[in-house]
Amino acid sequence: MKEFLYKLQLVRGDMLQTGPTEQEQTVVAEHFAYLQDLNTSGAIILVGRTLTTDAHTMGLAIFRAESENEALQIMNHDPAVRKGVMTATLYPFKVILQGK
């Protein structure tokens, strides 16, 4: 298995300042459930987000996949990406050190 990282950024940059719409809130809940399923399946290494609420706010998902094509499918299947609430960029990644 190879390791990958996808970086997520909000399409509507002020969502964290003004609050999500009902549709955005639904999509973010689906996004979280999707990541939980990936975690249960053993694909996820780490998921998190910055605690900032400005234009530089981002989330990261570090995960395992068999190939770059599979990693792209995982990233693009994320409901937040698929439904246009977040954009995502995929990077090949290698975990060098991992804490407990």
Dihedrals φ, ψ of 30, to 5°?
A: -65, -40
**Is residue 56 in a domain?**
yes
Q: Residue 48: give the domain boundaries.
A: 2-93
Q: Output the domain CATH number for residue 22.
A: 3.30.70.1060
CB-count exposure of residue 54 (10 Å: 0-12, 13-18, 19+):
exposed
- In tens, the pLDDT along 33-82 reads 999 999 999 999 999 999 999 888 999 999 999 999 999 999 999 999 99
**Is residue 46 in a domain?**
yes
- 100: pLDDT confidence band, cut at 50, 70 and 90? confident
